[in-house]
Structure 1
Amino acid sequence: MNNIALQIETQTSPVGDEFSALMAVVSPILQGLLFGLKQEVVDQCGGLEQMPLFMLPRAYRPGFGDCGICFEYAAHDAINRRVPSVIERVSDSLTRYCRVPGRETASILFGAEKTGALQIIGSPANLLTAESRILTGAQAQPPKLKQYIDKLTEAFRRSSQRSLLPSSISGLWKADLFLGNRDTDRWVGTTVKINRSQLEGAAGLRIGIVPARYGVGDAISLDHSKNLVICPLPYDGDFMEIFYTGWTIVQQFLAADARVPSAVFLPIGSHIMVAKFLQDRRDYSVLDVIRAMTPMAQPELLRTTSVPGTTAIEASTGNDAVTNVIAPQPMTIF
């Protein structure tokens, strides 16, 4: 078991020069990719500390739904970093539409489907309290979320377990996020879809996060047919643009076998500079490259804080169901 504290990174100043801002976000992207690799792949390279950067594109295997997982992680990440254009909409969805009391809006990623060498970061016992309630919209006492986490994970992994859930939360196993306010300890099940047409309602789900649609408007709305509050996230906003640009750079860099891609794939000078920085260090371990990027990153763009009492736990590589999984895990999202 690896005792690694769960960390939350918060944007603390506006984006200055683009290169430094990109270095600040590419570093955690690389870290997420590394920690998302399957344990047997990491073992073949001698462990996390020994994995060279040039091996990352060979160890990482993009899969179906990568873009959707990326959007899920990016939404979760933006909420906890309190990106203004995102947190305002989410907070409004919670307080105005779902009537969740409180002001300290936060997101917990329910990653029951994720696998990786450092798959489980934190556990419900640490992130939730005995009084954490899941608000379902039903006229009844809200269930205590913590006592159902293991059952929800089992329901995600095994369809035979879904009938054992209370009717008010029978579809909560479909949740991608639990959104709520920490100061009141009240949460709602949330589904995140990059393709709005794939949005589905279910008992226990209250909010649906989707990208805004160009020319249609991006106002929060109620979808009565799905019984969901639709919360579109805007495309503008400086930090999210930097985040997605960083993702693009890493994707193109990996597709070029950890080398600077040709100009048609990465035509902007500052983006090429980031890729060149990585290429020059392709023989070093990924973790050493991440350490080398730290002095180059924009000072005070991100503030890293640790959540007390959380640890990273190595995931099983067997076929057993994974339990106690609530955490960001960006294995195939970048």
Structure 2
Amino acid sequence: MVKLAERAILIQEFDGSRTVFDPVGLQTRLINCFLAAGLRESSYMAEDIALAVEYTLLNSPRPDSVFGRGELGAAVVRMLEETGFPDVAALFRRNGGETTVTIDAEPGPVTDLLHKFLACPPERFQRVVDQVCNATRQLNIRSASPHLLLELARYYERLAESEQPPAEVMEAAAAHTVSQSEITALLPPEVRELVDAGVIRVNGISTLFPCIRFFFIMNRFAEKFALTAPVTELEIGPLLYRMSAMLEKARAAIEASLKTPEPLPLYLAVPDMLDFIVVYLGGERSRSEKLGRELARALAADFTRDVYKLSIS
């Protein structure tokens, strides 16, 4: 069985206390900064940045895996600047991503914000701006987060007929080395059958943090193999090992087709593992994490590459 990277990463706070590194919290703060910078269409990059930071910390040669809060912030800022997001980096540097940026809900500031990502003709653009401003006036909103104003603009834009997609959507698509559909096309037929059944999902591979991300959906797995509650670990164990073999076939096919110079990091997520244990094994959700990780380990058993992150929920 491959090694699973599960050591705790500790962040030493400015007051000397230590907390466990929270990649989901970092991702949320990054998303807030992208939104505050008016870069909603690029906010998907937050996940890749959080994963890249976590991977770097996990593979640090430091024996104690303790990193300073300032050190972590500097690493995130540097990554944002190097990937072409200086405005986002400035917001993150200012307050660690806990941004509460708002802008005036007036035609001038709203126009400046929406110009960054609405690509409709001038007449339609001005109509969207007017509709957003009218909506905020009716709601007595004098200032609002960029996220709210952007969502209002998207709503009114969708009401218009046939329009060109925003430029940042095209840039976001181009930022992926391999799209999800292209990755799926590389898989062996028996794995694609599981993808079609919703049991396995493979994300696209981005340029920022190239890795293979597998998602295994336990409830779809149960439907696929006609499992009925209550089931036992002995009953589902062999099936999970079969699924592990399918995941390894998928991994090998992806790397063989892409001809990557180095093995890609592996990420395995089982987002409904605890729900599965409650429904099919009769466990209590609050006490199911240990069993969930044991079952997830069975899914990773056939990998010939280390799984750098195993996520269950």
Normalised to the residue count of structure 2, the TM-score between the two structures is 0.29
Q: Radius of gyration: which is bigger?
A: 2
Q: Report which of the two has the higher share of helix.
A: 2
Normalised to the residue count of structure 1, the TM-score between the two structures is 0.27
